Structure 1
């Protein structure tokens, strides 16, 4: 099935470190701050590159301030002191208006104004000094507006400054930095109304939106100073007694390079490790340490095991950090997911490899699941793949205005608007056109038919509207829904291409979204029957074809295994019954032997004269109570023999 429009390059998923040059050269930053300021000149961009490179140098080598012009520091302490100065605070706010001042200009501006740094009154507290300093900076900012033709006492100017501050805060709070192409790129299949997003966590902290584009160009694998080195990222997770860690090279894996991790694709994993300890009570949540702090210390065996597990897990993580010290030192970013208690495994102890103040440490900017190696792979794909959005300029502007309005302080009194001036109306998000609403409704109907397996209703619908959908995406939805008949219809009759990556599934293929073995076998049967249609193994990622003979052989082997298992169960049951019967028989024999010994003991007592009810002399060695000497023990027979001899001796003495 052919498409009228070229396939977009974005459909296969693009790494933020390998953006095509044609696309990269046509990108501009699409942020709230960038919309309110002019584009930076080439000189400013070049200066931003120099500052970015200086920021990556070791302490004491090329330290500077990105806000204040012509600043250089010999030590980190001098740089931190500068950040607390009024000059830096003034430039940080004045930068919103597009003009910062040098040190000489600042000295001229503050001449005649005393106590700029809060040194006017020695009796004043630190809070009053800080507020006084801030008021001086605000007065200087208002004085600067006079030169721009603005009235410093005008409320509108104050609101403009406040709006600019809210715009800056909105820019700093967004988790994703968005870029837009300046023109449509038909050769790449990218329209102009396309937004490409990169997670802010991959960038250094910048105050200016234009710096992100410069940094994005520097991050590319080719055409920068890091192309010959091994650049890497580290991902660490610990939660619920589970730990997962992975060191990944930014450079993708070569086709002939061996990869031991299943499902890693083209990701080059340098090191990985997972382990688990029993630290959390099932279905209770929370670690044992938190429970001990909240309540009294439990003394149960389970609590002791959980405490031991927490200590062992912490020691294993710390030992692994020491083993990975070189990889951590070479990592550009270190992403960590851990609770407050779990972070003690990474820093805050003697000999720690990581430090809390390390500016490379980031948190995952999206929800994560239980720490496993597969979850780390998913997070890697989420972090390093371009996000794609398609919104019109009107919709984007409406979203920006609504977000900036939400940042207004709630406790600030709202000024009454003049009667003659109508209240400003916040533009609403534009509604969908009738065509777009119809397309959304058709998509819902299609998904409903797939979920219910209504193939007869699907066929005419698909014939009429198939051009509105990506075949690979629909194939993935059918495979995940487990509809065997619909999948066979799309693959064999409609020839839907299973080799195309699914953008909404991080580039995975439809086969990889199969929910059951029956669905996977459908792909394998079609691959066997039509091997020349696609590259089933490498592109569609179907491991092998499945013929009728092979399937029958597999079913036969499965039946034999079931039969063998049943026979083994029967043999085990017979053996168990035989053992139980033998055990019962042995118990009966032991009971009979005990009774026999008791009877012999009674006979021996009667021979000693201790018994009652003996009516006459009894013959020694004869049968007593129906039993003879043959059933007695050796000791009892010796005792009876002694008694017999004693009686015989008494009889002889009596006759004499």
Structure 2
């Protein structure tokens, strides 16, 4: 038996049939993926809420034929399901989510008629409008680009140790046995509709903190038509200057009569998106990869025209996305789940720094699989991947190797190597290693605490000398590493000696690689005062206050900005000259093909020429030329008189 025993429409987690729901049995595993059967007592306790829900639903059969959104009553369940899949219900659902009143069927048809008339009037104007950014609402780009997934912390993976379902459980029960021990992003179920070697998998990301404890009850609740019709989720993807977002309804569209398309299957055609939007901007460095902001953070700010354009587009994309979040705020407030795929921390902050999606929002999820370039088509594929159950082979238990008694030769060798490496380091070298790590990471409070705890002087020589000959002190090391914050702390707070030189005769100032590090030395000199030490021996430049440094940095930024603008103007002028040159070359080529050209003279036309041999267009051109020449002759004769 295989997955073919399930019908295609039975695989959608928000619309499972009663037969499928009754066949599902939750699987429990231990830490090594060995399947564990729960006791009958626990099983009864686990299923009690489900039975209560079924009892409550069975009592309200008369109310289940009523649509709470459109305020309509139906004769049977089939009519109600057809209504849920109609555009009229979707329209009222959008209005109710935005806090607007619902409309009747007659008002909806009149509104639809008026909107179609207004669209036909403005269609020609919309075709002529072009946008500098590729802002569209039907993204169809399917370029496959690799991306690093920003792994959000899942609330499900950390919730493995569940408490007992009953107070009467035995004391020796293994509390690590749970349905979450699958070592995969899915929860597994057994089913009598498939073989014993197969299981049904459903992604954990679809469940929240409450429903993850009892997924069977959650599945039955989701399959309720009233719950399905009013539930929505949000999906966002961003990366490489591309953004795609959508508000997806948990109910599906009817695909009866739809033609099969090569790129879009019937599952994707059934996805009901209440809202969707894409933005595309040039933010990545061509042939190099990575965003401009990442390059600036790693290598410093570039001064090319292309880098300025990419920085502008990054800021514009952030504004576009946050404006869209503001527009969709009524939807986001009512979403059950918010799925987010961001390729970098910077892209993720575009959402979490806004007031519409909180960083600690429990609804925030990551996509538990790899996705492609952000487009509307990719969002539909991802939604189908998330919401359709998967029939997979049964998980194989992990083989645990037994520990052998006694030490083998390999373990003895490893232990001896560890002991040798531990004893080979002297106390001075251990202190040096710890201090270097703290300076490199910029951990100023921990560094101060370590120095006081071990009674170490700030000018402590870093060991071994062969490794740190160029940076014998922490101040030298901080200067070489570009740790400007640590330089200020070492000089002003810990009173490090800036006159100490390495074996090459260089002070810490001489190892500074950029102006920002040198400014840190000059600020420290201004703070300590000229009488603190003989500053001539340190080679440090003139003292500068923080305000003076800020002024210098501001002037430098303005100068760089002016240079960028000038470079952009020069590039535009070069482009214009190149375009003009290309036009002249094309015109010259055309002239060479046509020849110099000759003026048609009426006297040069032979009277014996047979006009019948010419085509209709040729005769008309000839007659027009003759009339023009005759008119010119008359004008000249009149001027001569």
TM-score greater than 0.5 by the shorter chain: no
Larger radius of gyration: 1
Task: Please report the TM-score for the alignment, with normalisation by the length of structure 1.
Answer: 0.41
Greater length-normalized contact order (CA 8 Å, ≥ 6 residues apart): 2
Task: Please report the TM-score for the alignment, with normalisation by the length of structure 2.
Answer: 0.42
